[in-house]
Every structure is written in structure tokens, then in C-alpha cells.
Structure 1
Amino acid sequence: MKRVMVLVASAFLLPAPLPASEPVVPAEEPLVTADVPRPVISEIVSEDQNTERGFAGVVQGENVVTLAFQTSGRLSTLNVDVGDVVARGDVLATLDGITLEEDLAASRAALSAAAAEARLGRQQFDRTTRLVELGVATTAALEQARAYRDATAASLRSAEAQLSQAEDAAAYGTLLAPRDGIILSTQAEPGTLVSPGTAILELVDVLGREAVIDVPTEYVTLLPRRAIFDVRHHSASVTPVKAVLRLVEPVADANLDTRRLRLTLQDPPDDFRIGSLVTATYATETAPVISLPAGAIGGTEDAPGVWRVGPGRAVEFVPVELGPEVGRRVVITSGVGDGDEIVVRGASSLEEGQIVGEHRE
């Protein structure tokens, strides 16, 4: 009886048979066909805006000279101030004349004493020579007299040289303007004790003026040797002038990654004074400077090229000539023109005539 009940319970626990169903077929992946445009990122070629940037700068003197005394002394007077216009021969500064005169008097007195000693030395030598000839003095005494004569003669020559230096110092106690110019800066105050060569002031030529600007380091590679710039005064009423690139300073500013350019102003009006604020813009007369990201360049090193989007969004491989690298971009000297659409990302797997998607930057 127990065995029958277990069999009946087991029958109730059996799972029900599954209903018949259709075989499961995996979903088909969409096929990529030639009719589906390939997504890429492209760029419309235009003139590089870097060449149109304006760089702030300041007008400085082209020929700056540092003036100093040729002798030491205490600065007595400084007759000019920053910005003063001076003419050739004007007295700019003087040293303490009393001190110079005292040095000159002391040198003259030392010369007189040395001359007296030299005369005495010659007289003693002559007298000792005669005594030796008479057999009264010894040879040792003659040698001693000769040494004394030579020593006093050397002292005389030293005193003469010191007097000459004192006379030059007295003459150099006045600092004169070597040419017409403008006082750019003063670097000493009256009462300062100065040495020969100590900078007293800076004088700048009134005619030679230049604009000094700082530009990004990569920007320099776009400029020819004597690039022309348009320089505008900070006052809108002043007529702009042309300037020629004179010098690219060899030392770069590592913190700002810039280079300093010096531009010679051509016939600037009087409004372009030393210290005036200006803005300089590269005034290129050549073809527009075109650059593309380095990733857009394909082909080989000997035959580089880019993918240009043509009619119907079909791409074609166009050979190009490369110029210098400007940061992460490369200058294109020929092969593409203003308004061309160039693939800049996704170009590595394109084929001639392939259809690409709409322009995306």
C-alpha cells in the first residue's frame, strides 16, 4: 500500500512536456554596404588665422648706448632726466671736482718730490764716480750710488704716470653727450661713488626706432627673413606704418614659449615715441598660409598627400607639398586651396572614390 502511494506521488512531480516551438535563429547583423557613407571628421581649408593675428608691443630705440665715466669719483651732478632730448656735446653729468683737483695737486706734489730725489741720485752717482777715479771711494760705494740713481729715476717715471692719470681724470670728470638723442634711463644718483665703466645713463638715437613684440615660437617658422609688418599706434588717429623684421632674438622665453622680434619702423611719425604702445600684424603679400593637422597627412614620406572630399561626397587622394610644422599642424605649400574639404580623422582606411558622411569638425 505504501509503495503504490509513492508511485502515485512521483507521477504528479514529473514536469509537463514542453510545447512544440520554432527553432531559434540568431538575429542577422546589418551588413555594411558601399551605399552607407563612411563617418569621418573633415576640415574646410582656409587661410591660417595665425598670420592675421595682432601682437602687442612697444616702441624702443634701435641704437641704444650706455654712457659711463672713464675714471672713478663721486657723482656730483646729473643734469638730465628720463625722456630729455639732448644734443651732441651737452653736459650730462659731472664728478666731484674738488676731489679730482685734490688728486691732481697730490700727483703734482709727488712728481716734484720724485724729481728732487732723482736729481740727488744723479748727483751722488757722479760724485762717487769721481771719488773712485781718485782712489778715495770704493767700488762698492759706486754700485750703491748707481742703484740709488736708478731707483729714484724709476720713481720719477712712476710719478709722471700718476700725474698723467690725474690730469686725465680731471678731464674725464665731465660726461658729454656723444650724439643727439633721448635719455632712455638713468642708473645712478648724485652722491654715488662710481668706478670707471659704471653705467650712469642710457642714450637712444632719436631717429632709429623699432617695434618690439613677442610671438609664439612656432609662429616664427611662418615668417620670411625680412617679413613686413603693419604697425598700428594705440591711438586710432595715428596713421599705421610699415616695419621690417630686423632681428629674431636667439633666446626663447621658456615659460611663455615665445620669441622676441625687433621690427624696424619705416618713416614713423613723431607720434611713435619711445615707449608708445603698438600692435603689429604680419602683412604678407604671398599666397595664403594653409595648414592641416598632422594626422590628415597620408601617403609616404616621398609622396605625401591628403584625402579631399569631392562631388557626391566621394574622396580622392591629392598629392601635396609640405612646409614647416607649426605646433601640431603642418603647413601645406601646394596641392590644396582655400575652401577644399579635407579629411583630418579617419583618413587611414579610405579608398579612392569612397563615399563619406557629411562634414563634421
Structure 2
Amino acid sequence: MKDVTMKNTMMPLKLLVVVLLSVVIPAYAQSSASAKASSASVTGGTKPSLTVTATQVGQSQMSTKLVANGSVAAWQEAIIGSESNGLRISEVLVNIGDVVSRGQVLARFANEAVSADVAQAKAALAEAEATAVEATVNADRARGLQASGAISKQQIGQYLTAEQTAKARVAAAKASLDVQQLRLKYTQVLAPDSGVISARTATVGAVVGNGAELFRMIRQGRLEWRAEVTSADLSKISNGAQAIVIAPNGEQIQGKVRMVAPTVDVSNRTGLVYVDLLQPKDKKQMHSFKPGMFARGEFVFGSSQAMTVPQQAVVVRDGFSYVFKLNADQRVTQVKVQTGRRMQINGSEMIEILSGVNAGTQIAASGVGFLNDGDLVKLVTASSSAAAPVKK
């Protein structure tokens, strides 16, 4: 009786175990298959290596420029020297940086000795003129008596000779007076032209010789930029071409080509282009340019249509420039390109593409420094792109 009861009790338990096994085993198998598939996906290398944004090779209007470096110099620098010999400087009226006009007195020499020489020359002239008047009267009287024979021909000749001699002495006295008056004039040092005093060696009390330098002056305050241009580019520049010159502090000023040097330096194969710096309306802007300073500039020749890409879309490797072309399978192809001009367009730095890709080609615009040929990438919009490598 007990055996029958136990058999009846075990039957439901066996049925319950069979049902549980039929449910658990398929679920476990399905979970294991999913895990294996996921693992195979990860190890299969199909995960994108980088998240990038895309752009197209576009067409833009770019100005044609030639960049050069050079020095700022005075258009002409006048050296103002002493024309008096052995005189003491009594007064210096200007200093470095002063703006002067033509004929303005810059310095004075002590003129007491020269004034005395002028007075002596005037007295000598007056004496010579009085002697000449007497000699002329005697000569006229002798001419009147020549026909009567009252005096000899020898005496008449002496009177006429005395007249000529007296007149010659008057001319010599006048010349001597002119010399002394010129010396008196030279006791004042005058500006030969309008301009700016750039150097001064004149000192009160100094005794200087004839020809000694006293001042240097930038004539008319005009400055020029002497750009160094390679011999290959000299032919592109002509007189009257426009230029933009940039000072070390970033200030810009307009310039105009005055002359292209007729010769080229044999040591570095460059020639000088002389660019007049145009006076701006704001005079403070001109203060950023000083003679002797280094400046860079650009010659502007016009504009032309060009293929352009953003600067960040170009990567330089081994001395060559590359872009990464986006393919339909979301992989990139590294393409070698030749670059040209650079220009700010709508606040972005753009680079001209001369060859390698065509207009309209879709390329990676960000994170190109991390890419390699054939990489799988993920495209996102510019606002959501982090432009950083994805961890594998």
C-alpha cells in the first residue's frame, strides 16, 4: 500500500522537472548564441575608429597675393652739415623727432668774428669805390685834353690804367664782401626741406669744422617698405601696384609700389621692391612704422575662382598635404593634394586646392590628424561632433 502511495507522489514531481528543463535549456542556448554573436561583432573590427564631420570641396573667390618680407626705411634721408669752419655752436633749436619745415633755423653759430669780417669788407669796398671815383675823374679829364696835346700820351695812358685798376679793386672788394656775408649766412643752419629730424650730433659749445654732420632728417616724413622678392616673382610686380604692409604690432597700412629694383642680389637671388607707405588719415597709425624695423606685407593683384577646403581638413605628412575622401561604405581614402593660397573667408581659414580632388568631393572636415587610409568612420553633424578617437 505504501509503495503505491509513493509512486503516485513521485509522478507529479517528475512531470514538473521535465517542464522546467524544457523551458530553461532553450533560453540558455539563445542567450549564449547572442553573447557569441556580440563577441564576434566586437572582435570583427567593424567598430568606427573616429567620429568626424563631412564637408565638400567648394568654389570660392580668392584674391591673388604675393607675400614678402622687408625693412622699413626713410624715402630719403638728408644729412645736414656745417658750412662754417672753426665756429662755436651757440644755440641748438631742434631735437630728434621734431617736425621742421623748409628754411627753418635748426642751429646757430657764434657770429661775432664773422660780423667783424663783414664790417671790414664793407669798409674796404667803400675805400675802393672812392679811389675808383677819383681815378674815373682823372681819366675823363685826360681824355678831354688828349686832342689839345697839353699832356703826353704816356700820362694819358697812366690815367686810363689807373681808372681800370680802381674799378677792378672795387669788384674785388665786392667779391670779398660777398664771401664774408655768405659766411655770416652760414652761421645759421637751415633745414633744406620739410621733414622729421631723425638724428642730432650738434651740441651747444662745440667747435666744428666745415662739413661736419649736425643733423639727419627724413625728407618730407616719407617712409618706404623695401620688400625682398625672389627673382621668379619680380616680374609679377609693376610700378603702381597696391600693397598692404603689416607692422610687428599688427597695424596695417596701404602702400604703392614706386619702383622695382633693376638688379638682383647674386648672393640670395632676391630683388628689392620699393613701396611708398601712404599717409593714413589717422596719424597714430603711422607711428607703428619706424625706419629700420622689420615688416611683412602682401602685394595684391586681384582675385580669381578657386577650389577651397577648410584648413582643418588638410593634414601634412612627410612634407606632403593630404585630405581624406569619404566613401559610400563609410571608410576614408587618403588623397594627396597640392595646396595654394590661404585666405580668411567668412571668418574661416580656407586653403586653395590646386590638384588631387575635384569640386564637390566629400571629405572629412575634422579629426583628420587621427585618420589613416581605409579607416571606418562615423559621420555626425558639426554641432554634435567631438572630433576625437573612439576607444576600441
Match of 2:230 among 216, 225, 243: 216
Residues of 1 paired with 2:199 and 2:97: CA distance?
8
Residues of 2 paired with 1:267 and 1:132: CA distance?
77
Residues of 1 paired with 2:263 and 2:215: CA distance?
26
The percentage of counterpart residues that share the same residue type is 20
Give the conservation status (yes or no) of the 8 Å contact 1:76–1:93. Answer: no
Give the conservation status (yes or no) of the 8 Å contact 1:121–1:149. Answer: yes
Match of 1:232 among 241, 246, 264: 246
| Residue 253, structure 1, aligned to residue 281, structure 2 | no
Give the conservation status (yes or no) of the 8 Å contact 2:67–2:296. Answer: no
Cα drift, residue 164 of structure 1: 3.2
Task: Give the direction of change, closer, same or farther, for the CA distance of 1:267–1:139 in structure 2 (3 Å limit).
Answer: closer
Gaps of 5+ in 2: 1-63, 307-352, 358-392
Give, as a single letter, the amino acid of the residue that structure 2 aligns with 1:339.
Answer: S
| Residue of structure 1 equivalent to 2:335 | none
| Residue of structure 2 equivalent to 1:143 | 157
Q: Secondary structure at the match of 1:213?
A: strand
| Residue of structure 1 equivalent to 2:195 | 181
Post-superposition Cα deviations, 1:309-354, rounded to whole Å, max 9, x if no partner, equal xxxxxxxxxxxxxxxxxxxxxxxxxxxx92169xxxxxxxxxxxxx
| Residue of structure 2 equivalent to 1:274 | 290
Task: Summarize the alignment of residues 1-361 of structure 1 with structure 2, pairs less than 5 Å apart.
Answer: 52-58=66-72, 60-62=73-75, 64-67=77-80, 72-74=84-86, 76-77=88-89, 78-87=92-101, 90-126=104-140, 128=142, 135-177=149-191, 180-186=194-200, 190-194=206-210, 200-205=214-219, 208-236=222-250, 239-268=251-280, 269-275=285-291, 276-287=293-304, 338-339=354-355
Task: Give the direction of change, closer, same or farther, for the CA distance of 1:286–1:225 in structure 2 (3 Å limit).
Answer: farther
Q: Secondary structure at the match of 1:223?
A: coil
Cα drift, residue 188 of structure 1: 7.0
The size of the alignment, in residue pairs, is 239
Larger fraction in strand: 2
Give, as a single letter, the amino acid of the residue that structure 2 aligns with 1:137.
Answer: I
Task: Give the direction of change, closer, same or farther, for the CA distance of 1:127–1:266 in structure 2 (3 Å limit).
Answer: closer
Residues of 1 paired with 2:143 and 2:278: CA distance?
79
Post-superposition Cα deviations, 1:263-294, rounded to whole Å, max 9, x if no partner, equal 122344133343243212333434499xxxxx
Give the conservation status (yes or no) of the 8 Å contact 2:68–2:228. Answer: no
Give, as a single letter, the amino acid of the residue that structure 2 aligns with 1:192.
Answer: V
Give the conservation status (yes or no) of the 8 Å contact 2:255–2:278. Answer: yes
Give, as a single letter, the amino acid of the residue that structure 1 aligns with 2:294.
Answer: L
Coordinate RMSD, CA, aligned: 3.6
Give the structure with higher Rg (CA). 2
Q: Secondary structure at the match of 1:226?
A: coil
Post-superposition Cα deviations, 1:12-32, rounded to whole Å, max 9, x if no partner, equal xxxxxxxxxxxxxxxxxxxxx
Cα drift, residue 228 of structure 1: 2.7
Gaps of 5+ in 1: 1-49, 290-336, 342-361
Give, as a single letter, the amino acid of the residue that structure 1 aligns with 2:115.
Answer: E
Give the conservation status (yes or no) of the 8 Å contact 1:181–1:203. Answer: yes
Residues of 2 paired with 1:179 and 1:221: CA distance?
35
Residues of 1 paired with 2:215 and 2:263: CA distance?
26
